[in-house]
Amino acid sequence: MTPETSPLSAELLALAHDVAGQAAQLLMERPSHFDLTEKSTAIDFATQMDEKAEALIVESILRARPDDGIVAEEGAARVSKSGITWVIDPLDGTVNYFYGLPGWNVSIAARDEAGSLVGVVAAPTINSLWHAVRGEGAFHNGEKIRSTSSISLDRALLGTGFAYDVADRTEQIAMVASLLPRIRDIRRMGSAAVDLCHVGMGALDGYFERGLKEWDWAAGALVATEAGAQVAHLGDGARKLTVAAGAGLFDELQAALAGVQI
């Protein structure tokens, strides 16, 4: 937060920080047994912890700001009366969480008519807290971050993710197969929000994934763009391709992905 931060942005950021921290602490108390709720496919599921974290986040936000809207992954929805809508992924990286792998996170953004205004991504298993306010830069654990700016495709380390619907993976495999001989390497972390934040801090040079929902990218994309990266959602419908990269790589990566033949 800077001296120029508006009172509204400061309020929203403080609330997002507080609520994300509470949810992350709740999730760190990982249960020995999971109740799984199947979603779009047998391998797309929510746990009782996704639902508990969402309830905590939504209740805390509406207690503080009862006129705000809500869009959340596990179904909470509320139309805004204030002009501010919260976009919430209470547990981004559920599969990582279920298997006891690091990198899962709590992703919270607040948007107005112009898009994401503040964003917070809390990933306690990798000791990382990212935040951004529109027009004021992006931060990791309180330190300002910048994306890479002069990496060519043949030296780029890229992140990606795969769809829950295995029928959609044919195209994703083709993208990976096309890119692998032309880049440094690919990493598959298991969390869109953290991948986008890693682009923002230069831990990844670029990232691409098809089929993300708003709650997957709302906070992470703000962190990436405020850190100097470019982020675009290409195509139409539910299978849009999200591409993020530093300014020096973005056009080359986008062109490489557009040229993939299925």
218-256 residue pLDDT tens: 999 999 999 999 999 998 887 899 999 998 999 999 999
> Per-residue b/e over 219-236, b at no fewer than 16 CB within 10 Å?
bbbbbbbbbbbbbeeeee
Check residue 165 and give its pLDDT.
76
Rounded average pLDDT over 183-195: 97
Across the chain, mean pLDDT equals: 93
Token duo for residue 56: 């905590």
* 91 phi/psi in degrees, rounded to 5: -150, 85
Check residue 133 and give its pLDDT.
98
What residue ranges define each of the domains in the chain, with the CATH number in brackets?
7-144 (3.30.540.10), 153-258 (3.40.190.80)
In this predicted structure, the answer to whether residue 208 has a pLDDT above a threshold of 70 is yes
**Predicted confidence band of residue 31 (pLDDT cuts 50, 70, 90):** confident
**Whether pTM exceeds 0.85:** yes
Check residue 76 and give its pLDDT.
87
Percent of the chain scoring above 90 in pLDDT: 81
Q: Which residues contact 73 (CB under 8 A, 6 or more apart)?
A: 50, 54, 88, 89, 90, 213, 215
Task: Specify the 3-state DSSP secondary structure of 129.
Answer: strand
CA gap 79, 251 in Å, rounded: 36
Check residue 8 and give its pLDDT.
97
Q: Lowest-pLDDT range, 40-54, 91-105, 157-171?
A: 40-54
In this predicted structure, the answer to whether residue 43 has a pLDDT above a threshold of 80 is no
* Segment holding 71, helix H or strand E: strand 69-72
Percent of the chain scoring above 70 in pLDDT: 97
In this predicted structure, the answer to whether residue 141 has a pLDDT above a threshold of 80 is yes
Q: At which residue do the structure tokens 């529109």 appear?
A: 134
In this predicted structure, the answer to whether residue 262 has a pLDDT above a threshold of 60 is no
**Angle of helix 48-64 relative to helix 7-28, nearest 10 degrees?**
150
Rounded average pLDDT over 171-194: 95
Rounded average pLDDT over 155-163: 94
Q: How far is the CA of 230 from the CAs of 19, 116, 139, 142, 205, in angstroms? A: 28, 15, 16, 22, 11
